[in-house]
Amino acid sequence: MARILIVDDEEKIRHILSIMLKIKGHLALEAANGRQALKVLDKEPVDVVITDLRMPEMDGFELLEEIKKSETPIPVIVITAFATIESAVEAMKKGAVDYITKPFEENQILLAVEKALGLSRIIKENIDLRRKLEKVSKSGEIVCVSSQMQQVMDLALKVAQKSDTTVLITGESGTGKEVVARFIHDNSPRRGARFVALNCAAITDTLVESTLFGHEKGAFTGADQSKQGVFEYASGGTLFLDEIGDLPLEAQAKLLRALQEKTIQRVGGNEPIKVDVRVICATNQDLEKLVEKGEFRQDLFFRINVFPLHIPPLRERKEAIIPLAEFFVSRFLDSYEFDQLITDGAKRILKQYNWPGNIRELANTMERAAILAGLPPITSEHLSFLYEQNLTPQTKQFKLPEEGIRLEELEKDLIRQALEMTGGNQSAAAKLLGLTRSKFRTRLKQLEENN
């Protein structure tokens, strides 16, 4: 059984098409215009759309454009009583898979639907395949869809084979630096040994040396027994030093010696201890600027920057947002079995948000949305908590241009943008504009009447 959306402003046509499709065992959904259709698509998984061209509020051409923009394109069959070569060409350019004139024969519709369903199955199979290919579970679950991240992972795979090379991973907080470090470890000859992660910013200055290199019994008050540091504990494997820029200068000198000589000395001890460990460092700071300020040793910077890897922020790889979001939802629900995890309206909101917290923020957002939704799909309503965050300083502090502005046109444009962002969901659009639903509908009606 397929789910087919019929979009036509004539109730009689919708009724006839519904009967035809139900006889063949399909489920028919209905909408009177393109805007209503977007609301249905935001809430319901649909296999095929059958749409008229001439309709009020939003015509078939506009609907075709909106569907074409979506991450999971749906095959669209166009039916019209005003057939022209120009409109047929335009419909096909905008993504229609078939063009049928009214009045139509039942066989025409059913054959077109079967063809469209075949295309729909291919699309779904490709999406499933892409999901499987994007999920690299070997090293902490990495989803690589952007060309930038693919380049990063290609480089990470190359350096992984060189088990002693020091790596410096840079990037904003939440971009996945530790995940990349684990990927390097898991694909290296050291994969059978430990991966030890240490956040340098989380250690107090008095405990840095003890944490890194260990201490002997009686070395300081409270040292009632000897203890290994992370260098010894990770020996044979990989030591990941996160937020390396926060390491105190005194500890930096001792870290440099450990990297160069591959020996450490416990606090309170005299004997040098050999360590065999690959060190991967990470930071969200500009180490070269810290060097200029005298806050980071230049010789240590050169020593750890043997093989640099930079992870771009999520806002610079927008194409990765939806695959990552779907991955996090499916991981939270522990299943890929749902036909649709996120609606097109919700996807538009996710792509328009700036993600200052990067992948970590996206993962938390999708977990929260999945809890609110209960079961997929996640809609724009479940992401309403992002709306306020989506307002940039530019939108909050609008400056009136010297040449002036037509207030009604601006209001109309803002309402249109809000409806586009929310997939035609008026409640969500009202929230986005700071209005109640009733006030939003009243203003929308006034603007439509003034057209």
Nearest one of 72, 71, 50 to 121, comparing CA atoms:
72
Give the model confidence (pLDDT) of 40-92 as tens digits. Answer: 998 888 999 999 999 998 999 999 988 888 766 789 999 998 888 888 888 88
Among the three residues 98, 133, 168, which one is the final residue of a domain in this structure?
Answer: 133
Other beta carbons less than 10 A from residue 410's beta carbon: 11
Q: What is the CATH number of the domain that holds 299?
A: 3.40.50.300
Q: Based on the fold, state whether residues 151 and 111 are members of the same structural domain.
A: no
Q: Give SS3 for 346.
A: helix
- Most distant pair of Cα atoms in the chain: their distance: 95
Among the three residues 311, 344, 372, which one is the final residue of a domain in this structure?
Answer: 311
Task: Determine contact, residues 323/283, Cβ cutoff 8 Å.
Answer: no
Contacts of 146 (CB under 8 A, 6+ apart): 312, 317, 319, 320
In a domain, 330, yes or no: no
Q: Based on the fold, state whether residues 126 and 19 are members of the same structural domain.
A: yes
In a domain, 337, yes or no: no
Task: Give the range of the structural domain holding residue 399, as residue numbers without chain letter.
Answer: 392-451
Name the residue with higher pLDDT: 205 or 12. 12
Name the residue with higher pLDDT: 253 or 135. 253
Nearest one of 35, 33, 77 to 55, comparing CA atoms:
33
What the block records as the tokens of 50 is 């059958």
Q: Based on the fold, state whether residues 215 and 254 are members of the same structural domain.
A: yes
Asked if the model's pLDDT at residue 113 lies above 60, the reply is yes
Give the model confidence (pLDDT) of 160-218 as tens digits. Answer: 999 999 999 999 999 999 999 999 999 999 999 999 999 999 888 889 999 999 999 98
Give the model confidence (pLDDT) of 308-346 as tens digits. Answer: 999 999 999 988 899 899 888 888 876 556 678 899 888
Q: Give SS3 for 76.
A: strand
In a domain, 339, yes or no: no
d(CA 442, CA 116): 39
Q: How many domains does the chain have?
A: 3
Q: Based on the fold, state whether residues 292 and 249 are members of the same structural domain.
A: yes
| Residue 425 C-beta-side C-alpha neighbours within 13 Å | 23
What the block records as the tokens of 344 is 């097109």
Task: Determine contact, residues 120/47, Cβ cutoff 8 Å.
Answer: yes
Q: Which residues of 141-171 are buried (b: 16+ CB within 10 A; e: fewer)?
A: ebbbbbeebeebbebbeebbeebebbbbbbb
Q: Based on the fold, state whether residues 170 and 287 are members of the same structural domain.
A: yes
